[in-house]
Structure 1
Amino acid sequence: MPTRRSLRIAILAVGPILLLFDVFVLNNLKHRVTDTRDSSTENEEQLSKTISLRTADIHPIIILSTFRSGSSLTGDILQQDRDSFYLYEPLNPLNYLMYQNISNLHLVNGSVQPIGIQDFNKVSTKILLSLITCDFTSLDVHIVSHGFLYYSNKSVPYITCVDRNKRRASLLFSIRKCLPILMEACEKSSHRIFKIVRLSMDWMEMLLEKFPKLVVVHLIRDPRPIQVSRDKLGANIFKDLRKSFQELCNLLSWNLFFETKMNNTYKRIVRLYYEDLAIYPFRTSKWLYKILGLHYTSDVQAHVHHLTRAGIQSDCPTCAVRANSSAHAYSWKGFFNASQLNDIQDVCGNYMKAVGYINS
C-alpha cells in the first residue's frame, strides 16, 4: 500500500510539471512561427504575410519526379551542400494516411484539420509551403516523426531526439520538445531542398508564383527502366503491360507539358536526365550545382564518387548508392522481348520521342 500511495503522489506531482513544460515548449515555438490555430482564412492571410517577408532570403529547390526515377540519388547529391536543408519524400506520410482513409490531420500546434479523399494535391502544396518557410508546427505529427527523416543529414539530430524521448513521453510531447532542433537547421539554410514523387508538375505553379527564387528540378528517366525497377519491388507490370506503361507515360507527358508551359512564364524549371547523372556523375553534378547556386567542393565530389563509382554493393532498393551507376542506367536492357517493346512504343512513343529516348 505505501508503494502504491507513493506512486500516486508522484504521478500527481509530475503530471502538472509535464503539462506546464509542454505548454512552455509550444508557446516558445509559437514565437518563432505563425500561429495556425485561427480560422482557415486568417491562417492563409497570415501565412501569405509570413512568406512575403521571408522569400527574399530563401532559395527553395524541389526535385520533382516519379517513383523509381533516380530521385534518391539526385537528392542525396544535392544535400551535400553545406548550406542546404533537405527532406526525403516529405509527402509520403500524407499518402500513407490517406490510404488508411483518415478523415483528420492532427497538427503539431494542437489543431485538427479535416481532410477528404480528393484533397491530397491541395494539402500537399500547403505542406510544401510550410516546409519551405520552416513552419513545422502546422504539419501533421506523422510528417514530423516519419522514419524518412533519417535519410536527410540535417534532420537526423531532430528525429533521433524524438525517438529517444518518445520512449518515456508521448509522441506529441517529444516532437514539441525536439522541434527547435529541426527549425534551427531549416532556418539557417537558405537552400531548402525537397524530393517529391507524389505530386504532378501543374501543382508547382502556385509555388513558383509565391517563391521568386524557387527552382524545380524536373528529373526525367526512360519509362522502361522505371517500370523494371517498379516490377522488382512488386508492382507486377506484366499483369497488363500496355496499361501500366500507358498510365506512366500519361503522367510523364502531363509533367512535360506543364514544364514547357510554365517555363514560358517562370523560366525556373530545370530538366535533368537521370541517365546523364548516372553515366556522367561528376560533370552532371557540377553543372547542377552551378545552375542551382550551390557550392561544389571536394567533399561533394568525394560523396558523388561514393554513390556512383566506389563499387559499393547495396541490397537496399530505395537507397542512392550504386556500385557502378553507369552500368545500372542500362541494366534494364534485355528485360523486354521484341513484342513487348513494340507495345511500349505504341503507348509511350510520342513521349519518348519528345524527350529523346529511342526505341531499342
Structure 2
Amino acid sequence: MLCLRSQFRVAKVLRIAGDLVENLLIKNPKLKVIYLYRDPRGIINSRLKIPVNETAGAWNDFNTTEDIAFAVCQKMDIDSKNIFELKGKYPERIFTVAYETTAKSPGKNARNLFKFLDVNISKEYQNSISKMGNRSKKDDKTWNSAFRSDGYATAIKWRKELSEKDKKTIDISCRNVYKQLGYHV
C-alpha cells in the first residue's frame, strides 16, 4: 500500500529493448527513463568468466569472444541508437549515463540524476552517496555494486584482464557502439 501512495516509483529493468521504451513513454506521460550503459568490453569480460556449462538461456550458444562480442554489441548498437534518438525526441524524460562515470564520481552523478528526476535530496544523503567509493576492501565482500572500495577500478578491470587478441576481436564487433557511446578503441 505504501508504494501506491508514494509520489515516486522506480523499476530496474535489465536489458529492455530500446524500441519498447517509446511505447512506455507514450502510455505514461510522467515516466522518466534512466539509460545506464557500460563499456561493452567490461560486459564481455564478465561473460567470458562464466563457465559455459553455467551460462543460462541464450548465452549457452555464445562461448567464444567473437560470438559474445557480436551478440552484445549488436544489441547495444540497436538499443543505444533507439535510446539516443528518443532522447532527442523526449529530452526531459530520458537520462543517459555510463557505468564507468557513475563508479568514478558517484556523488556528482547522483546529483545529476536526482536533478533529472526533480527530487530534492538532503546534503547528508548526498554525502553518503559521495562516500560510497571510500570504503575498505574488507567492505567489498558485503557491498555488491559498482560502488566498491574502488568502483572505477572494477569498471575498467577488463583493460588488464582481456588479452590483446580478445580486445581486437571485440573492437571489430563493437566499433559502432564505441562511437555511439563515446568509448575509444
The CA distance in 2 between the partners of 1:212 and 1:298, in whole Å, is: 30
1:273 deviates by 0.9
Q: 2:109: which partner in 1?
A: 284
Say if 2:37 is the partner of 1:212: no
* TM-score w.r.t. length of structure 1: 0.45
- The answer as to whether partners of 1:306 and 1:321 remain within 8 angstroms in 2 is no
Equivalent in 155, 170, 181 of residue 329 of structure 1: 155
Q: 1:224: which partner in 2?
A: 41
Structure 2 unaligned blocks of 5 or more: none
Say if 2:96 is the partner of 1:271: yes
- The answer as to whether partners of 1:282 and 1:301 remain within 8 angstroms in 2 is yes
1:320 deviates by 5.4
Q: 1:187: which partner in 2?
A: 4
Aligned pair count reads: 176
Q: Aligned Cα RMSD in Å?
A: 2.4
Equivalent in 290, 297, 301 of residue 126 of structure 2: 301
The CA distance in 1 between the partners of 2:63 and 2:123, in whole Å, is: 47
The CA distance in 2 between the partners of 1:350 and 1:317, in whole Å, is: 33
Greater Cα radius of gyration, structure 1 or 2 = 1
The CA distance in 2 between the partners of 1:232 and 1:289, in whole Å, is: 34
The one-letter amino acid of 1:332's match is: W
1:332 deviates by 1.9
1:234 deviates by 4.0
Equivalent in 73, 86, 90 of residue 249 of structure 1: 73
1:287 deviates by 1.1
* TM-score w.r.t. length of structure 2: 0.83
Alignment of 1:31-70 (within 5 A): none
Equivalent in 142, 165, 174 of residue 339 of structure 1: 165
1:337 deviates by 1.8
More strand by share: 1
The CA distance in 1 between the partners of 2:82 and 2:41, in whole Å, is: 22
- The answer as to whether partners of 1:307 and 1:320 remain within 8 angstroms in 2 is no
1:252 deviates by 0.6
The one-letter amino acid of 1:200's match is: A
**Which protein, 1 or 2, shows the higher relative CO under an 8 Å CA cutoff with sep ≥ 6?**
2
The one-letter amino acid of 1:291's match is: F
The percent of aligned pairs where both chains have the same amino acid is 27
